[in-house]
Every structure is written in structure tokens, then in C-alpha cells.
Amino acid sequence: IDTLILDLYPDSPYLRMTILSHPGQIEIHLSSHSKKSQEQADKRVQKLETNILERLKENVFSASGEELEEVVGNLLRLNKRTLAVAESCTGGLLGHRLTNVPGSSDYFLLGVVAYSNKAKINALGVSPSLIEKYGAVSSQVAEAMAQGIREKARSNLSLAVTGIAGPTGGTPEKPVGLVYIALAWDKGSKLKKNLFLGNRDKIKYQSSQKALDMVRRHLAKNKKKKRALK
């Protein structure tokens, strides 16, 4: 982020910008004071905020302190879309975050924690041969999980997460932190291969954050397409 907004750093002693890094997200805090008035201080902050938003564009999910799950929930509601999730390594964290938002029953239909291979096969319809050939932690299985939960829930969108949260279970080919996330909808799907760092909790949280952001970007992109067509 520093490299993207380096030239926007304030050179005024009355304006301050602080960047804080957290697992899965970065926060930018702006503050100002003025010898003349609070109004003048507010104007300085507003101008800098506008410049940052224009620079970072879709990489910013909130300028008002909302959590990502709240932003995604609002987008789902506004677009009249429903969502279902299939989780393995996140163990229900993704569903927990989504349902922590009041009114999430408007758009969240179903969450399945398919931790074992047997659960992936029985609950989500993943082919046993697919798991045998590629392994449970693979792009192929992630996509099959996403399609399986979407069909089961009859949702507009679906997410699937499978990976290795650690601290054990990793190999040179599939290290701890390797996580595949799939997003599926009626006309296609998208897959992200990720390698997250940190302990088990941090890997799980970053996985849920990335999954939610995939939905956010997908809905925001579709919204722009609709505007262009009009």
C-alpha cells in the first residue's frame, strides 16, 4: 500500500496518516488538527480521503469502518443474491462471520463444514476419484465443493474453501498455508490459489477474509457492468 499512495503522504504538520497491517487487511487512519477551526481540519481529512479512495479504487472495501462481512452482506442484499458456503480448513469460520451480521437470513442460505473426505463426498457430491487423483486440497476439489453446495442450496453464489491450516499436514508440494478458494455462480466460477502465513488461527482468518473479498469484488464488478449497459 505504501508504494501506491507514497506521493499522497501529507507534508503538513497538521495532517497525519497512519497505516496499520492486520491479517487479511490493511487500515489507513487519517487525523488532522487546525489552529483555526475543526471545519478546516475536517476538510483536510476529507480531501486526503478522497485522493486515497481514487487511488486505491476497488481495493478499498469500506471508508466508514464496516467489517468485510457487513459490506458483503449489503452487496448481496442490494443485488438480491443469495450465498451458500462449503468449508473445510476454515471449520465454519466463514459461515460464522456471515451470520454474525444482523439480517443475514435475507441472503445466507446454507453452510456446510465438510472437514473429512467422506463428508466432501456425501454432503457435497464431490467425486471420490477427484479426491484420489488430486487430493482434498486442490483446485479441482475446491471447484467441485463450490458447485456441490450451490446445487444443494440452490443459491445464486457459492464459496468453497479447502486448504492446510497447520501446524502439521504440510508437504513440500502442499505446504501449510496453501488454501484454494472457489466462487461459483450460474454462468461460471473463479478460483484463487493462496499461500497464507502465520499460525492456524491467522491462516483460517485470512482464508475467510479472502473468500469474502472474492464475493465483494464479483458483485461490485457485476454492478459496474449493469451500469454500463444502461
- At residue 226 the predicted structure's pLDDT band, cuts being 50, 70 and 90, is low
Strand order through the sheet with 188-195: 108-113, 83-87, 157-163, 178-185, 188-195
Band (pLDDT 50/70/90 cuts) for residue 228 is very low
pLDDT at 48 over 80: yes
Of the two residues 1 and 136, the one the predictor is more confident about is: 136
The structure's pTM equals: 0.91
The answer to whether 215 and 183 have CB atoms below 8 angstroms apart is yes
pLDDT tens digits, residue range 71-103? 999 999 999 999 999 999 999 999 999 999 999
> What value does the mean pLDDT take over residues 2-9?
90
Chain centre distance of CA 6:
25
45 vs 108: CA distance, rounded Å: 36
pLDDT at 229 over 50: no
> Which residue ranges form the domains of the chain, and what is each CATH number?
2-59 (no CATH), 68-229 (3.90.950.20)
Q: CB count, 10 Å around CB of 81?
A: 17
